[in-house]
Structure 1
Amino acid sequence: MAVSAVRVLGIDPGSRLTGFGVIDLYGQERRYVASGCIRTPQGATLPERIKVLLDGLSEVVMLYAPHEAAVEQVFVNVNPAATLMLGQARGAVLSALVLASLPIHEYTALQVKQSVVGHGKAAKEQVQAMVVHHLRLSGTPQADAADALAVALCHANHRTMAARVPRGLTVKGGRWV
């Protein structure tokens, strides 16, 4: 009996550059499908940027037909204006995924780094290196695309762990109860 793949779309939202990464899951195996960035025009207004993000992500969803999506959560920045802009970009990303009727899973940057690198304080270069390692890539993806692939890998790891947990158990305070 053939194992069917689950296709996961990982997203690293940004107001100027939004990374995306697509992987297929075959049981424990993870296979690279595609990655890239949606770039908003410099000097564009917020509504113009949101339209570019919505259209770009809708195109990615249509082209790669993922079954699930994983999105990095926004962290609170020192600069409130930058945090607000990032939140609005993330809202556009979530809207595109909701309109595509995709199940959406959210992970913090700490969760992504812990899952992919092994510790939550990993540098971008470490994340990129581990993405290359886990997906056996011949080259290093652009940083935002690598972050999006890391989000997809994080979700794959959480899916695998959740499948192994006996029914009825949940996590509270970092413990299974």
Structure 2
Amino acid sequence: MRLPDARSDMSQAGRVGRYGEVASALALRSDRQLAASLEHAQVMGSGIGGSSVLLDVAGVPVFAKRVLLTDVERHAGNVMSTANLFGVPAFCQYGLVEVGGPARRNDYIRACAAGAEPAGAPPAAAAVIRRYAPVAAAMNDFYWDLFGVDRATPYPGEKVERALSALR
């Protein structure tokens, strides 16, 4: 699967429209169809947290992470549950800055790296975001270029090292 230039339509309207198409296509799939999609997706890598895959949804390349469920999550009473089974603080849960998806997250992190206050984050989380935003921004730039522009994009070692040295 060839990845399109991720920066070709970075307008909010374009991102929201594409998101709607993908969300609708996924909503129409059964659990079995979703499982089959993941099973046949291109594996990008794997690690301690599961494997990452790239699949095609309505003609749009979609990155997904296959995460293994814990015994607690597999317990019959918890199947399909959206309950906070592990007592994770609300601000740590998925969705803290998800409005608008990855492009919005990227904008958010870049703004924080440039000195903006982390909006919507509690003080402890805001402190972590402020501290690590420059490193995250450097890695985000690399990610967008690698997956959206050219798979031969060189790793930005010097830029990341400068950002990390500020942490020391």
Task: Give TM-score, length-normalised by structure 1.
Answer: 0.29
Larger RCO (CA under 8 A, 6+ residues apart): 1
Q: Which has the higher strand share?
A: 1
**TM-score, structure 2 as length reference:** 0.30
Q: Which has the larger radius of gyration?
A: 2
